[in-house]
Structure 1
Amino acid sequence: MTEHEYDQLLGIETIGMKECPLQLVHYNRYEATPYVALDELTRSYELKRIDHVVDFGCGKGRLPFYVHYHFQLSVTGIEVNKQLYQEAVENKERYMKTRDSKEDTIRFVCGPAEKYKVEPTDNRFYFFNPFSIQIFMKVVTNILLSVEQHKRFVDVILYYPTIEYIHFLERNTPFELLKEVRVPHLFEKDENERFLIFRIQ
């Protein structure tokens, strides 16, 4: 299925890139995770209906809609860019019209990732290089504080992982590498086309 066909299936519009305003120097441009990569991830990594996924830097919401559609789980998208947040909300309105269920388990939060209050039910955290290592460190610290208060298994999922993110998790946190998932035909051209999944137990 092409990117356009997948968007049509979900009733959303997530294709394209968008640069962040200059004042948001710690935040990277919007670019959705390719659907072919998400398909590969979910073939190799189990998500359950009881999981709650948080997508930091969710943009227009592709990952939240994708995992909700396939696994009927709860998902939260965090987005600092007000325009992208508004587009995610509009996508949600269209997406919910395509669902038979009236159950609303998708939500979007507009604000800085480091200000997000990690909920005790949040246990899967997704990052596609949304921001600088400084913000990533603050977000991971918030996750660890939540785990201290509410003991549970949590995973950090990195797509197209940066060396800075990897080194921080490996050297400064109790997270351990659980799995690497490569996106085969993309990986042949670029070895960063992969997911790294870190877990704390």
Structure 2
Amino acid sequence: MHCIFVNHKPIILTTEVSKEHNFKNYLLSTVNIGKVIKELNTTSLEEVRLIGKKEDNLLSKFLKKLPNVIAGGGKVINDDGDVLFIFRNGKWDLPKGKAERKESIEETALREVEEETGVSGLSITKPLETTYHIFKRNGKHKIKITYWFEMKTSFSGGLMPQENEGITKVAWLNAKASQEALDNSYANIKSLI
């Protein structure tokens, strides 16, 4: 099973048909993805389930339905165990950004974290789950595929939000503050913390 978010509502890719209750089932092979996105954005539906035949190719079939944007990001932990958050578009988020040509996804994640926060001395400790969300840019829907990595740093300098990317705040948040920030964050970020 895979989960792709449209704002805070999921599109679930599955091989199992369930009786509809606060969600709708559609066949993955024939679904009008634009209609599904509109339904999730304008109705009280809690989720949509796209039904396919084989578990191992659900995601690849879905990803062909929209242009893909590849991104890398980090859940950065400092020596005190605090997590690095950014505040953008009125929500708490983790730093991430679009991959550039001839750059590995690990290089993308490290570069984007440093650019968006001013934090340096980063090292990747392990990969985290990959997240998927649908967004609209210039009137067209796209799917952002974000490869996440847990990172560590001993950085103790000043934090610098990348304002030209709409980031207004960067903060190290302890466990309690991180949980509070997640109340005003995105569903896919909650799964990483």
TM-score (norm 1): 0.22
Point out the structure with the larger helix share.
1
Point out the structure with the larger strand share.
2
* Greater Cα radius of gyration, structure 1 or 2: 2
Q: Which has the higher contact order (CA 8 A, sep 6+)?
A: 2
TM-score (norm 2): 0.23
